[in-house]
Structure 1
């Protein structure tokens, strides 16, 4: 099941909702309005509790009597470890340690409500559960936009949150600007400030989750800075040869490849890497969203070529893999941030980036 969306065994419904747009793989609920957090939890099928249950293993007692060997099974409690279990259907989700603290789905939505002053202005757009319900995710649209150029090129501002109930990862909240015209997630790190907050599932995690409203201040600062930067980039010209070079450098998988690029030794580059670069460059040159006044022949367009490649061209095994790559610190996010750094440097002085032949 490539989509990996949870299907409730009792109701037969998929744990996912989306506002107005077609739901993920056509599954789940489509609603015609932006719901409150209470409604979103219900629409997404996330209205279940998770509990920590003692973990047992099976031991054996062997005795030999007149009738022969007798084997008796005995339950042995595993100390300091617990199973996380869905309370609504008793499905085991994972194994965790004694210090692990469950953050209930309802508390994850409370995080969003708290950071924007009780929900004022926040718009829940999607939410859902993956697997057996061991991982949930939420996206919420923030008020206002990032506008580039005369206002036709608009980027919406989102907060994304994901958490797991199986001990596999931390609570993650991220600021994710999305350019409307092509649905590019514009990953960027400004002045050593990450766009991600991670909170461990340990004692006090709920309190730390409540305190994580700092991501809202970070999001506001990033969006203001990004609007200024993107508008500046939209006025900085770059030729096609330079765009391809920048794409090569952003996508380089290792230092050896980067050295070949800087030396102009394209014959040393692998066929797989060349094909990847060609796909991204083709997107840069031919996509309709790259023909706008803000993107055609500009640094802003070069940056969008990299983010657009990962969002709209690259193939992924499933939607979860795409999510991890683009939002949760995977390859797409790392390469997009590399492109951001290169474009920033080029905007200051293009000759600093590379020596063209």
Structure 2
């Protein structure tokens, strides 16, 4: 049985504000005030509400209480698409413009349009072929069937311009099981785009439930991201992604071995300071303002490393956790005109903006084992 909590959230809004979990904005919307969702605003560049309710399915309630929740999750893709409000089709239609009272067609340009609401989602060229939501996600159904897992979440963002689904891999991974025993919950997320700006993407994402941290896979040479362009050959590329994603468990096991090695490798404060200097080299020609910002970042990272070391020991693993936490949750992100900083931060994680820095940190810290 599903639980539709869209109305429940708004009925309970006073309690949420009283408990300081949300605050009412001047425009009548509500904004999260706690956790890593802090700053996210309901109905603004987040969940699609064009059909009257939030386009979201989840196996557990989200912070905002919106969407349809199926406790324990479900395993059927068609039910997921329906509950999440993403079972619509996308059409490519000619683009027109008005010139001196005359309607003209823009040759070689098209709009992507939802077939249920008629909303224009993006402007694309002649080679663009929409990847429909079901065909873009159905390859995960094989993993769901093979491993006996469930669809964790699915939904639409920005009027349907972005669509996402997520499944959990069958077993958790432990880093240094005999020591700190840090448990990693592995997920696969797939994001489809209908705005013409980005491809369909599949991302392997470890999640640490202890601190809520979400990070990208950082093992050198491991495949953690697959992209599929919206062209006629998309179907074959999606099949390749399916085969690759089935190897994800092997990648996680390799990752756990390397992370365990880091957890058993000492890392002194001066070694961490050198790492920060390599990841963010100082600019000799920087302005005084930029230099002050660099100093604040270095001091902040040093403080974060001290706290992390108190929790799990002064190790290379603590150093990597510090760098990852800073990039995912602390580093400044410039929001767009209609995007909150928290949404910009989550987008950066999913799109792998800082993957190169994370991989560089991982490689430098792995080198400490033989130093």
- Does TM, normalized by the shorter one, top 0.5? yes
Alignment partner, residue 207 of structure 1: 236
1:108 deviates by 2.5
Alignment partner, residue 157 of structure 2: 130
| Higher gyration radius (CA) | 1
Whether the 8 Å CA contact 1:171–1:199 is kept in 2: the answer is yes
Q: Does 1:323 align with 2:340?
A: no
Q: Does 1:79 align with 2:107?
A: yes
Whether the 8 Å CA contact 1:127–1:138 is kept in 2: the answer is yes
1:329 deviates by 2.1
Alignment partner, residue 69 of structure 1: none
Whether the 8 Å CA contact 2:147–2:169 is kept in 1: the answer is no
Map 1:214-229 onto structure 2 (within 5 A): 214-229=243-258
Alignment partner, residue 259 of structure 2: 230
1:175 deviates by 1.2
Indicate which of 12, 35, 40 corresponds to 2:74. 35
SS in 2 for 1:297: coil
Cα distance change on mapping 1:229 and 1:276 into 2, 3 Å = same
Residue-by-residue CA offset, 1:129-155 (whole Å, 9 max, x unaligned) = 111111112222111122122363111
Alignment partner, residue 46 of structure 1: 86
Alignment partner, residue 347 of structure 1: 369
SS in 2 for 1:341: helix
- Structure 2: distance between partners of 1:32 and 1:111: 24
1:91 deviates by 0.6
SS in 1 for 2:304: helix
- Structure 2: distance between partners of 1:171 and 1:40: 18
- Structure 1: distance between partners of 2:121 and 2:195: 5
Map 1:90-101 onto structure 2 (within 5 A): 90-101=118-129
Residue-by-residue CA offset, 1:211-240 (whole Å, 9 max, x unaligned) = 311332442232121111111111111123
TM-score by length of 1: 0.80
1:59 deviates by 4.0
Alignment partner, residue 182 of structure 1: 211
SS in 2 for 1:94: strand
Whether the 8 Å CA contact 1:53–1:84 is kept in 2: the answer is yes
Cα distance change on mapping 1:127 and 1:274 into 2, 3 Å = farther
Structure 1 residue runs of 5 or longer lacking an equivalent are 61-72, 261-266, 350-357
SS in 1 for 2:170: strand
Map 1:137-152 onto structure 2 (within 5 A): 137-150=164-177, 152=181
TM-score by length of 2: 0.77
Alignment partner, residue 19 of structure 1: 59
- Structure 2: distance between partners of 1:313 and 1:59: 48
Residue-by-residue CA offset, 1:146-190 (whole Å, 9 max, x unaligned) = 212236311111112112101101111111122232233343444
What is the aligned-residue RMSD (CA, Å)?
Answer: 2.6
Indicate which of 264, 270, 275 corresponds to 2:296. 275
